[in-house]
Structure 1
C-alpha cells in the first residue's frame, strides 16, 4: 500500500480542497477505487477514516461506483469505532440505502438497517443519528416494522438529545406517520 495514492490519503487533511482533490482523482481514475476501499475499510490502519472521507463523497456524487464494494462496506459498518469514520459511514449507509440506481440484496438491506438502529441507540454524535434516522425512514416504506421501532427509539431519547437531533426526529416522525 505504500504508493503515491496511499501517501496522498495518509497525508491528507479535512480541508475541502484536499478532500475534493482526492475525490476528483478517484473519479478520474476509478481503478483506484479498490485501493480506496482497502484503506477506508481497514480498521487496523490508523488513518482509515481519511479514506472514509473520500468514500463518503463518492457515495454522494456517484454511488453506483460502489456497487462492487457494497458487501465489504456493509460488513465493515459494525467494526467502525472512530467518530469521524462513523459519521462518514453513516452518510455512506444513507446514500447506499436510498439510491434508486442500486439494487441491494435483502442481506445488504438488513445490514444497513441493523447498523442504523445501532447508531441510533448507541451514544453517538448527532450526525450519525440523523443519517441513521433518515435511512430508516426510507426503509420504513418497505419494512413496516421499522416505523414502530423508529418511533420507540426517538420517543425514548428525544428529551435528552440536541436541538439538531430533535429537528430531524420531528421531520422523520412526520414522514413515517
Structure 2
C-alpha cells in the first residue's frame, strides 16, 4: 500500500482530478494516512508538498482523521519552506484550529498560534496570511491577547498589502472589535 501511495504522489500534479483521486484513495484506505503524513512531513523529500495538498483536503473534509497525527503536524508546521506546502499547511492549521470534532492540547494550540503569527509578519503569500488571520481570530475567542496582537499586526501592515489581504483584514477586524 505504501509503495502505491508513494508512486501516486510522485506522479501527481496540482489538477483537481489528481488531488481528488489521492484524497479518495486515503478515504478508501485509511491505514495509508500514516504514510501520507510521513511523506508530507519529510521536508527532505522534494515532493512533500504534494502530500500536503492531500492532508489539507482531509483536514477540510474529515478533520477527525488527522487527530492521531496532530502532534507531528504541529511539530513540523513551522519548518516548511515550499510555498505550496506553506499554503496547504495554513489551511490545515485553520481546519485543525476551528474544528469541533477534535480537541487540541494547549501545546498544539500554542504551536498553531505561533506559526499563524509568524506567517502574518513574514513575507508570505496572501492566501497563507488570510488563513492565519482566520485561525487567529478563532483562537482569539478564548485568548483575548491574540486579538490585540492581530489588531496591531493588521493595522501596521494594512497599507502595504494587496486588496485580497485588505478585504480579509477588514473582515477579521470587524469580528474582533
Q: Which bracket does the TM-score occupy, shorter chain normalised?
A: over 0.9
Checking the alignment, whether the CA contact within 8 Å between 2:12 and 2:19 is kept in structure 1 is: yes
Q: Against the structure 1 CA distance between its residues 2 and 33, is the aligned structure 2 distance closer, same or farther, given a 3 Å change threshold?
A: closer
Partner of 1:112: 112
Deviation string, structure 1 residues 39-92 (Cα, Å, up to 9, x no partner): 001001000000000000000000000000001000001110000000000000
- Structure 2's unaligned 5+ residue stretches are none
Moved over 6 A (4+): none
> Equivalents in 2 of 1:168, 1:117: separation in Å?
15
Partner of 1:126: 126
> Equivalents in 1 of 2:40, 2:77: separation in Å?
11
> Equivalents in 2 of 1:152, 1:97: separation in Å?
21
Partner of 2:33: 33
- Structure 1's unaligned 5+ residue stretches are none
Deviation string, structure 1 residues 13-50 (Cα, Å, up to 9, x no partner): 00000000000010011000000000001001000000
Partner of 1:174: 174
Partner of 2:84: 84
Indicate the RMSD between aligned Cα atoms, in angstroms.
1.0
Deviation string, structure 1 residues 112-171 (Cα, Å, up to 9, x no partner): 000000000000000000000000000000000001100000011000100000000000
SS at match of 1:3: helix
Partner of 1:102: 102
TM-score by length of 2: 0.99
> Equivalents in 2 of 1:87, 1:150: separation in Å?
19
> Equivalents in 1 of 2:148, 2:104: separation in Å?
23
Partner of 2:163: 163
> Equivalents in 2 of 1:38, 1:92: separation in Å?
15
Checking the alignment, whether the CA contact within 8 Å between 2:2 and 2:32 is kept in structure 1 is: no
